[in-house]
Chain A
């Protein structure tokens, strides 16, 4: 049964990252499977309004300003009229929010729930339980997931984490891992240097990605192994640390800092390497290691979060998140490479291709959509009761206010005055150049 799905998240193209890639690829596969998919996100500079992407994927860039860290301010009521308008004109049946950090996703799910639509939420991150920000975020997530029919996590560790911190029933949570476009990440061993062993690091240079560990490893490896080269791809607030280590150890010729690159350029960097190093301190699912393995690299990674579930043991060297363990892992990988025991790059690619593909992810997501479609709508009283049981009485008042605003909008802007949007027809669509002058 075809569904009309609205993906909502603060993180989407032109922003680049795992969540953005996940939303785009999943949407493309669902479109190919005959579903209607639209994406709602906030504006990015002058990118406001309605845009179309590959295969007629429609994106609404709402005129809402970013408040903090690429997220909008969760006012709960300010963007309600336009989100309701979009849901009605696109005849949406399922609202799919992405990322626990996305305020827009939580708002849209609440509005969708009050409009008796089915809501699905995909959690892409792991959280702690101890610090203040984690406590607040977890509480907010718990409140938000009251209005959600089903949750999707990208790894079993992620599921465990979500069930604990958001207090969701485990039978309402499914695990659907991410995938990688393996055709775009094919190996090419000819690009590798024969004189050096190249270690590639790809990721944002932030604390969470273990930049401090990276710096220490470069410091230890540089003088010890003169035949080792590092290529670091990514940018972030901790870049200065790597710059400093490179300067101090005089490794300008052997440590290449490429800065942030476009996703399409990543494969060219990966194919230059022999070993991929991931030093993340927390990770629900690591796309970078799958992309690296798909390019035929040996992966050395920290054993944190959902990483042990991502690749089979023969394709990954798991280590503890500390310098001695990571150094040991790298040395073992180099030794295997020197002895010729490393898995062949093309065999590595074949194994990853058989494990991960977006069609499989979309099929499994479709099953979740079929399940939530069968769910019965909750009356308002029952919805509000959830908030009382959860001990969040003030939020219940916000939900009640949202309900009243929706009822007022039903009177002020009735559904019958809203034009139903035309669906994009892939069969009749032809790419046209801007026409010449008419005369």
Chain B
């Protein structure tokens, strides 16, 4: 889809590492100097909604209270409700990566509760972007990471340190989705950086 202002938008459906459907939206603004990548979890799954979680917890509470002694049931179900509430509040539903050349990279994570967290990396701090493998609990996952250079804060030492900042940690897209993003980012990169290799 292309409008009169050279803005283009592409959508594709991928999977995340948990096997859930995710929607990848690529929105290019202007003449390829600003691009926005949005990964959103599929809303169609009714089991993922907080209302269903709370309902399930309430039913469990009721069932266990009847089954066991009252206090034990309440204790267990309080823990379950606590976990469900935490999950509902701190669960990421959408992540947006906005790259604006030569300003920098802005990454925003939107939580189910409605609030969001934003991180901005200036363009002059970015060295490169990679897809790397990392062990996460019992899985080995591919992650897209930004290699940044952070300068020493003290006035005496001008030593710089390299740091890896992982992106899309909440939606956890699979490799095919990460490759689409990675290749798209590299079309924006200045020619002096490393070449894209499939």
Contacts and interface: CB of A to CB of B under 8 A. Distances in A.
A438 B140 contact: no
> Which of B15, B137, B138, B175 has most A Cβ within 10 Å?
B138
Nearest to B122: A439
B138 A82 contact: yes
B194 interface: yes
A62 interface: yes
B193 A82 contact: no
A439 B102 CA distance: 7
B126 interface: yes
Contacts of B114: none
Given A417-B18, A437-B149, A50 B138 contact: no
Contacts of B174: 417, 419
A419 B19 CA distance: 11
Contact of B127 (A62, A85, A418, A435): A435
Contact of A437 (B124, B141, B189): B124
A428 B126 CA distance: 25
Nearest to A61: B135
A417 B127 contact: no
Interface in A230-261: none
Interface residues of A, number: 26
B133 interface: yes
Contact of B139 (A49, A413, A414): A413
A367 interface: no
Contacts of B15: 417
Contacts of A314: none
A438 B133 contact: no
B3 interface: no
B197 interface: yes
B128 interface: yes
B119 interface: no
A343 B158 CA distance: 59
Interface in A68-92: 81-82, 85-86, 89
B69 interface: no
Nearest to A90: B140
A434 interface: yes
B139 A438 contact: no
A435 B193 contact: yes
B17 interface: yes
A419 B190 CA distance: 30
Contacts of B192: 436, 438
B157 to A, nearest CB: 19
A417 B124 contact: no
Interface string A298-315: 000000000000000000
Interface in A56-74: 60, 62-63
Q: Taking chain A's interface residues, is the majority helix, strand, or loop, or is none over half, making it mixed?
A: loop
Contacts of A419: 17, 141-142, 174-175
Interface string A43-59: 00000111000000000
A85 B124 contact: no
A419 B174 CA distance: 7
Interface in B166-198: 174-175, 189-190, 192-194, 197
A432 interface: yes
Contacts of A434: 127-128, 147, 162
Interface string A400-439: 0000000000000110111101000000100010111111
B17 A439 contact: no
Contacts of B149: 437
Interface string B28-51: 000000000000000000000000
A438 B17 contact: no
A85 B193 contact: no
A432 B137 CA distance: 30
Given A62-B135, A417-B18, A50 B193 contact: no
Interface string B119-156: 00001111110001111011111100001010000000
Contacts of B194: 432, 435
Given A85-B140, A435-B193, A421 B133 contact: yes
Contacts of B18: 417
A60 B135 contact: yes
A268 B84 CA distance: 63
A437 B126 contact: yes
A416 B15 CA distance: 11
A418 B18 CA distance: 9
A438 B149 CA distance: 11
B160 to A, nearest CB: 10
29 contacts: A48-B135, A50-B132, A50-B140, A60-B140, A63-B135, A82-B138, A85-B138, A85-B139, A89-B140, A413-B138, A413-B139, A414-B19, A417-B18, A419-B17, A419-B141, A419-B142, A419-B175, A421-B133, A434-B147, A435-B127, A435-B128, A435-B147, A435-B194, A436-B127, A437-B149, A438-B124, A438-B126, A438-B189, A439-B124
Interface of A: 48-50, 60, 62-63, 81-82, 85-86, 89, 413-414, 416-419, 421, 428, 432, 434-439
The 3 A-B residue pairs with the shortest CB-CB distance in the complex, in nearest-first order: A81-B138, A417-B19, A419-B175
